[in-house]
Structure 1
């Protein structure tokens, strides 16, 4: 309808997965690199999670195109299956013939024979399961059993699990801990940044045949705001905006058209929202005035110690240690006044801080500042870290593991409605941790943090020098280095080693098991990267960091 009017050869914002319109942002490329690394290293399980519409399937299809020719793939799109149905579907995808009404054992034997034959023929086998958050625990356990077939160097079946954030929670279940420990790479795909949205729109328009700008800067900003950076929502809103522009003979799409299109896509009543806006704005203004009056009164009469960001930006009064309020503590005062210990005030401050922390970039910026580094416009946090001689690690674990690692970290959190928000863990003191949410620093209890922690976090490190791999063929110096390193992590005195004995191998396996690595007793690149996080002496730490923040 509007293609001729705007000089387009095709519909640029169809939600159909057309490979010609494939756009890989920096985050999509990072996700692809993690998956490729996970498959190429040792095999096993690889995990890709992300919110609905962020492009997980796009990444998986690009990965399929990059797999070598000697790879057989099985792609399961509907994982709501029983154990027997899953095995039968794998057989169907791989072209394995089976009899009517086969048992689980018969299907397992057929798949195992296929995997062995493939290995003998120097072929790889990859199983990709989309929407994996719908897998039942018993089906996941059956998948783990399938991956038991292995050689001395790799698994004969490599499995990629793709799903929504609920998949991470599913894998934390006690009965699935063995599977979780076999995940060799994991990545949580985040929405597009503001800059990415602009490149995304330009790319799709150019593929559709238009070289001139069509969405002005205000429209791009509105698209990012109303879509939250979700590519699928961007397509839906941009499509409606083009239709509105054509109906009104507008040569350029602006923010007003995008706003109207977003209401149409979401099914909300724009007029009703407009009538409510003055009331909402008035309430927000009244709240801000009340908070400002409160803070002024406290600062003038109670000598408040106000913390500041490294950039010396004045912040609202941070929550700090004191009498517990809903597991979050009130402001740190030189003279405690019980009248200021108000649950409503603490709850309001925390809610406001969470709502301002829905984007990852501020959390990355805080972590870079903790290292004395700066964020780069147009680069992700990990890319900016790499430009400044830091390495970026995305890890999965508990708060206990994070505190033992003792690095400041970007942490992935969920609120009471299971909506994702992001913070930066900066320090630990006693049973509390210092959490930065956007520009607000808060002291929270570890129990509150554990309740909201998704288990995913990212740290930076200046890695210490280390060998590429340490196994039974390694030199004596390398073996002693490994023993010294493991002893340092375990907090025990190192032994003098003369060979790769069972004690050293068992210690290494225990370290790998604790950190979700393949427990094979070989210190490969994954293990050494994790080990070096403990060995590096550079950079900030969580313990005794209060004076630095």
Structure 2
């Protein structure tokens, strides 16, 4: 007789199961690692830091209201870095490193193609061209307003703010200081329009914050400056 075939040997008791090969998790390359976002100020903290550049320590409370008590006016607008250079004063800007949450920082200096930023964690220097790519276009600054300043003055207006305007324009043009409490008209209005045109502003004879800020730059008025002494 033919013997039955031998049974296949059973697996050894206690033998470990065969290892299953699992592909290793992909590791991000250095190039894929995002650049850490610049440390952001809160809006109020940024305003207080900016006020310090004007050597003003704001009391507790809403920053712009407290600044107004010290004759510093908040002015918020949109414009390019070229506009900020023309204004020539430190500003609060927003960076779009994270589009969902723009970072609020101070731009305090521009020199030799570099920009100095003050963040909530310190100071950093970046290339001006790189800053142009990161800047979202909005900025806030302070300016010192004349006594009894209005949001804008126009032809025929009178008052201390018009007197200040007339004195500054007379000084810039090297002419005799005009009498006080005169309406914005005649030679002063002509000087105003000429000044606006020379500054690249709308030469409409209406003086708002941008015109007053530009008028405060010539001469010896003491204000913080953005550009280096050489004007670059």
d(CA) in 1 for partners of 2:66 and 2:115? 26
Q: Note if contact 1:382-1:392 (Cα within 8 Å) is conserved in structure 2.
A: yes
What is residue 483 of structure 1 aligned with on the other side? Answer: 169
Matches within 5 A, 1:497-536: 499-500=186-187, 504=191, 506-508=193-195, 510=197, 514=201, 520-523=204-207, 525-526=208-209, 529-534=212-217
Q: Is the 8 A contact 1:464 1:532 kept in 2?
A: no
Larger of the two Rg values belongs to structure: 2
Residue 541 in structure 1 maps to residue 222 in structure 2: no
TM-score by length of 2: 0.60
Q: Displacement of 1:474 after TM fit?
A: 7.0
Alignment map for 1:10-409 (pairs within 5 Å): 351-352=36-37, 354=38, 356-357=39-40, 359-377=42-60, 379-409=61-91
Instruction: Give distance in 2, aligned partners of 1:359 and 1:439.
Output: 12
Counterpart CA distance in 2 for 1:427 and 1:462 is: 20
Looking at structure 2, the residues matched to 374 and 383 of structure 1 have their Cα atoms a distance apart, in angstroms, of 13
State the 1:439 CA deviation: 2.3
The aligned residue for residue 413 of structure 1 is 95
- Give the conservation status (yes or no) of the 8 Å contact 1:412–1:423: yes
Q: Please report how far the alpha carbon of residue 431 of structure 1 lies from its aligned counterpart in structure 2 after TM superposition.
A: 0.9
Q: CA deviation at 1:444?
A: 0.9
- Taking the aligned partners of 1:398 and 1:424, their CA distance within structure 2 comes to 15
For structure 1, list consecutive stretches of 5 or more residues without a partner in the other structure: 1-342, 488-493
Q: Is the 8 A contact 2:146 2:164 kept in 1?
A: no
Distance 1:454 1:521, change over 3 A: same
Distance 1:528 1:466, change over 3 A: farther
Pairing of 1:433-452 with structure 2 (within 5 A)? 433-452=115-134
CA deviations over 1:158-177 (Å, ceiling 9, x no partner)? xxxxxxxxxxxxxxxxxxxx
Q: Does the 8 Å CA contact 2:93/2:139 hold for their aligned counterparts?
A: yes
**Alignment CA distance shift 1:369-1:479 (3 Å):** closer
Instruction: Identify which of structures 1 and 2 has the higher relative contact order when contacts are C-alpha pairs closer than 8 Å and 6+ apart.
Output: 2
TM-score (norm 1): 0.29
Superposition deviation, residue 506 in structure 1: 4.2
SS at match of 1:442: strand
Normalized per residue, the structure richer in helix is 1
Instruction: Determine if the alignment matches structure 1 residue 422 to structure 2 residue 104.
Output: yes
Deviation, structure 1 residue 456: 1.6
- Stretches of structure 2 that go unaligned for 5 or more consecutive residues are 1-29, 179-185
Q: 1:408 to 1:526 in 2, by over 3 A?
A: closer
Deviation at 1:406, TM superposition (A): 1.7
Higher strand share: 2
Task: Tell me the secondary structure at the aligned position of residue 483 of structure 1.
Answer: helix
Q: How many residues align?
A: 186
Contact 1:358 1:420 survives alignment (8 Å): no
Q: How far has the Cα of 1:435 moved from its partner? A: 0.4
| Structure-2 change in CA distance of 1:511 and 1:398 (3 Å) | farther
- What's the C-alpha RMSD, in Å, of the aligned pairs? 4.0
Q: Deviations over 1:140-175 (max 9, x none)?
A: xxxxxxxxxxxxxxxxxxxxxxxxxxxxxxxxxxxx
Is 1:368–1:374's contact at 8 Å kept on the other side of the alignment? Answer: yes
Distance 1:533 1:502, change over 3 A: closer
